[in-house]
Structure 1
Amino acid sequence: MHDTPAFFRQLTDKYLTDTITASEKELLFSMISEGAYQSELEQLLAEVWERPVTGGEDIAVREQIFDNIRTQQKKVRQLRIRRWSAAAAIALVLGAAGTVFFLQREHRSPQPLAAVQPGSQKAVLILGDQSQVPLDSSFSRTLQQGGATVSQKGGQLIYTANSQPSGAVTFNTLQTARGGQFRLQLPDGTRVWVNAGSTVRYPAVFPANERHITVTGEAYMEVQADKRPFLVSTQHETVQVLGTAFNINAYEEEPSTLTTLLSGKIRIVNNHQTAVVLAPGQQAAVSHQASTEIPVAEADPDQAIAWKNGYFDFENERLDVIFRLLSRWYDVQFVAEGKAAGLQFSAVVTRTSSLEEVLSVLSATGAVNFSREGNTIRARVITP
């Protein structure tokens, strides 16, 4: 049985020793986000914290971190947690209480902010006649659309094709607002995770010749193998797929559309008809400006789909970029004053944390503090 405390402890041990596989890490974060093993995590954190640090490397890393925080007050500061001993690794994968507890043990008090709760499983289904059906994880329902049976089961919408469309194709749209996300299973069996502030437009039943959907915002897809080509259109590119898993980040407020391939093969064509083919582990960046080129680089797939697995993963990320991610999930506005926007941070925090808890992780560097005015969070650089 995998759903046991012993198996959970085995996964955390692998995580701490950096021997965990990608699939095991996804399972571990899923188990953590469900909250079923909070007591085991707290016990493990206590054990690790009381364990004497004897390794010279751990001591050196800890001293280097504190020296960096103390002495680089006038430079770009970073929250360097990833390499910080076993205790830090446990604290990062803990949810809200664990992370804040760890910071308090380091005598770094979080900034006083009224708690803003994280987003949830909610969306709106726009039917072919433009009527709207609110969706959230507390409901289950079934309806008919264009030759398909549509079933909502908690936070997932499942389409089952009953017949091929005759005449005009019926299109549906799944739309998430800021602070919401949802899952979708298309009539061919393709699974789609839809991030906050996004839309997916698709036929209720795919026609016989192709499968074509349109995405704004961000979605992760596991495409069902089929003889029909699978096309994903955004405002700036078209992705041609045949049985694969990939993430597409197409928010208009970002400088480019990022497409990251996890498995299989995809071909990307931008509006200038420039085309590239991605291999697993590669990411293409299609500029939202006039550029005709499509740069391709190696990427961290786990980081690209962190949102889908229930956590934020920041790696030397600028604060203004972090703010855009947090704004979509917590549905608040952010303002970075002065040089705050350019500060860089690295951290891993669960998406079930309140906003106060996320900001306490960032403010633990002593580089920046936060204040709230209504629905706006302001960040200010702390000057020495």
Structure 2
Amino acid sequence: MQDDHYRLLVKRYLEKKSGADELEVFAHLLNEGKLDKYLQEAMDADISAITNGETDVVKTLGSKKNNWLPWLKIVSAASVLLILSAGLYIYLKPAKHLSVAKQLVKKDFTPGSNKAILTLANGSQINLSDVKNGVLAQQGAAYINKSARGNITYQAANTPSTVTTPAAALLNTISTPKGGQYQVTLPDGTHAWLNAASSIRFPAVFSGTERKVAITGEVYFEVTKNKHKPFIVTCANQQLTVLGTHFNVNAYADEKAIKTTLLEGSVNVTNGTRAVILKPGQQSKLSADDNSLLVTDNADTEEATAWKNGMFLFNQADIKTVMSQISRWYDVDVKFEGPLPADHYRGKISRNVNASKVLSILELSGIKFKIEGKTIIVK
């Protein structure tokens, strides 16, 4: 009977069906080493159920082998339970695997949060983290509001404006720092999510025959449909034209290419000399080196938009890509000692955890880190 009970606990945990009480019992029995036998049975019976890309249990690609490092292989009677986020757990051996966590025990790097600066047409700035909810300013015939959820919306004023400058000529900019993110509802109802170290520039009111914005960094759009007024996004040497769709643009200046990933509808992408039309599931890459424009089918849309959903998600990412995301989100500098590792990494973890949790997991693949002030040194 006890065997059946333990097997059921393991089965429900792996299927992510455990309740709070079951998780507490599971953790207690695991730390006592009483579940090792049943976890091994489950791993032997169907290792793919443990290591598939959809599970919320964090996985790391080993630096010596081109396959997943099954998390169960590092379970032991002396395991330490690290609560990464609600419903998300990983069990790690203590001691040598957690060297970076020991370095950060006194001052860890906390995750980013909702913070941004709004720059009005006259150059004045509003710190969106500090101001109270409600009307923040009026730009021509548009009111700027901060909602109870902390988002910014642009709405048409009910009373005539005393400002003589047309709202369409009043350009506003919302910018996030490293360690920040923000959401804005543009004057036409389009929703835009800004990742860390990003910006979007737009008029207080869209008039004329087009809706045009300019971005830096990374922005996810859900564009309000209007077949008579195309929505245009410019960034560096690229211009996107849509009528109404969902897509993500990664245009950080320190990346090798501008990546546009389409989730819904269609997008016309041009680099000035060539134009392509993306279909859902496709991704365009505009090279920073030679301005070439390529299209990839069956793009990993979940990876491209994971940041918006509060996750780090890596699918065959190199170490520079991984550390760039960590640098922006935790507002830290990153330096490399020696040549960059040639390995690629796969994994998924909440962005709501401290940096020590993420770095500790990466250490399992053989990477070593050294912390000096606000700089992470990759050895």
TM-score range, shorter chain: 0.7 to 0.9
2:306 match: secondary structure: coil
Bigger-Rg structure (1/2): 2
The percent identity for this pair of structures is 33
2:359 match: secondary structure: helix
Counterpart AA for 1:249: N
Per the alignment, residue 280 of structure 1 pairs with: 280
Counterpart AA for 2:217: G
Per the alignment, residue 152 of structure 2 pairs with: 157
- C-alpha distance in structure 1 between counterparts of 2:152 and 2:321, whole Å: 30
Per the alignment, residue 225 of structure 1 pairs with: 225
- C-alpha distance in structure 2 between counterparts of 1:156 and 1:101, whole Å: 33
Bigger relative CO (Cα 8 Å, ≥ 6 apart) = 1
Larger mean Cα displacement after TM superposition, 255-264 or 103-112: 103-112
Of 27, 30, 34, which aligns to 1:46? 27
CA apart distance, 1:379: 1.6
CA apart distance, 1:207: 0.5
Counterpart AA for 1:113: Q
- C-alpha distance in structure 2 between counterparts of 1:162 and 1:211, whole Å: 19
Kept in 2, the 8 Å contact 1:180–1:196? The answer is: yes
Counterpart AA for 2:93: Q
Per the alignment, residue 126 of structure 2 pairs with: 133
| Closer, same or farther: CA 209–355 of 1 in aligned 2, 3 Å | same
CA apart distance, 1:80: 2.4
1:147 pairs with 2:149: no
CA apart distance, 1:349: 1.2
Detail structure 1 runs of 4+ shifted over 4 Å in the superposition: 15-18, 37-42, 59-63, 75-79, 83-88, 91-94, 96-101
1:213 match: secondary structure: strand
Larger mean Cα displacement after TM superposition, 48-57 or 231-240: 48-57
1:289 match: secondary structure: coil
| Closer, same or farther: CA 308–323 of 1 in aligned 2, 3 Å | same
| Closer, same or farther: CA 119–59 of 1 in aligned 2, 3 Å | closer
- C-alpha distance in structure 1 between counterparts of 2:372 and 2:67, whole Å: 25
CA apart distance, 1:87: 11
Tell me the C-alpha RMSD between the 2 structures.
3.7
Kept in 2, the 8 Å contact 1:77–1:345? The answer is: no
Of 109, 116, 120, which aligns to 2:113? 120
| Closer, same or farther: CA 255–303 of 1 in aligned 2, 3 Å | same
Point out where structure 2 has 5 or more consecutive residues left out of the alignment: 1-10, 52-60
Map 1:1-384 to 2 at 5 A: 39=20, 42-43=23-24, 46=27, 50=35, 51-55=38-42, 56-58=44-46, 76=64, 80=68, 95=84, 102-104=91-93, 108-111=97-100, 112-114=102-104, 115-136=108-129, 139-142=132-135, 143-153=137-147, 154-162=149-157, 166=166, 169-226=169-226, 227-271=228-272, 273-365=273-365, 367-380=366-379
CA apart distance, 1:269: 0.6
**Deviations 1:245-283 (Å, cap 9, x if unpaired)?**
000000010011000000111110113x20111110110
Kept in 1, the 8 Å contact 2:214–2:235? The answer is: yes
TM-score by length of 2: 0.78
Kept in 1, the 8 Å contact 2:81–2:90? The answer is: no
Kept in 2, the 8 Å contact 1:110–1:364? The answer is: no
Counterpart AA for 1:128: A
CA apart distance, 1:86: 12
Kept in 1, the 8 Å contact 2:349–2:358? The answer is: yes
Counterpart AA for 2:157: N
**Deviations 1:340-374 (Å, cap 9, x if unpaired)?**
44332221111111011110010123x12111111
1:368 match: secondary structure: coil
Larger mean Cα displacement after TM superposition, 297-306 or 104-113: 104-113
Kept in 2, the 8 Å contact 1:369–1:379? The answer is: yes
2:378 match: secondary structure: strand
Give aligned pairs, total.
337
- C-alpha distance in structure 1 between counterparts of 2:210 and 2:25, whole Å: 51
- C-alpha distance in structure 1 between counterparts of 2:293 and 2:344, whole Å: 28
2:111 match: secondary structure: coil
| Closer, same or farther: CA 140–240 of 1 in aligned 2, 3 Å | same
| Closer, same or farther: CA 60–124 of 1 in aligned 2, 3 Å | closer
- C-alpha distance in structure 2 between counterparts of 1:41 and 1:355, whole Å: 28
Larger mean Cα displacement after TM superposition, 216-225 or 145-154: 145-154
- C-alpha distance in structure 1 between counterparts of 2:81 and 2:309, whole Å: 15
TM-score by length of 1: 0.77
Counterpart AA for 2:207: P
- C-alpha distance in structure 1 between counterparts of 2:171 and 2:277, whole Å: 29
